[in-house]
Amino acid sequence: KDRDFCLVSETNLHINGHFIGKSKKQALKRDFTWVQSIGVQFDSHKLYLGANKVAKWDDARDELSLLLDDQPIVLPPGRGVDWESASAPGLKISRLQDANSVTVEVAESFVITARVVPITAEESRIHKYEITEDDCFAHLELNFKFFALSPQVTGVLGQTYSAGFKSPVKVGVAMPIMGGEDKFAASDLFSADCKVARFAGCAIESVAGHNFPEVACGSGSAAGRGIVCRK
Sign of the Cα pseudo-torsion (147, 89, 15, 57, in order): negative
Look up the pTM and report it.
Answer: 0.86
Assign 30 a pLDDT band (cuts: 50, 70, 90).
low
Average pLDDT over residues 39-62: 95
Q: Which one has a higher pLDDT value, 95 or 159?
A: 95
Average pLDDT over residues 135-142: 95
Rounded to an integer, what distance in angstroms lies between the CA atom of residue 218 and that of residue 166? 22
pLDDT of residue 173: 60
Residues whose CB is less than 8 angstroms from the CB of residue 35 and which lie 6 or more positions away in sequence, other chains included: 17, 18, 19, 139, 140, 142, 217, 227
Q: What share of the chain has pLDDT > 90, as a percent?
A: 59
Average pLDDT over residues 154-176: 74
Q: What share of the chain has pLDDT > 70, as a percent?
A: 80
SS3 121: helix
pLDDT greater than 90 at residue 228: no
Asked if 13 and 198 count as a contact pair (C-beta separation under 8 A), the reply is no
Sign of the Cα pseudo-torsion (125, 130, 133, 136, in order): negative
SS3 127: helix
pLDDT of residue 129: 85
Q: Among the residues of the chain, which ranges form H helices?
A: 121-127, 181-184
Average pLDDT over residues 40-49: 96
103 bridge partner residues:
94, 113
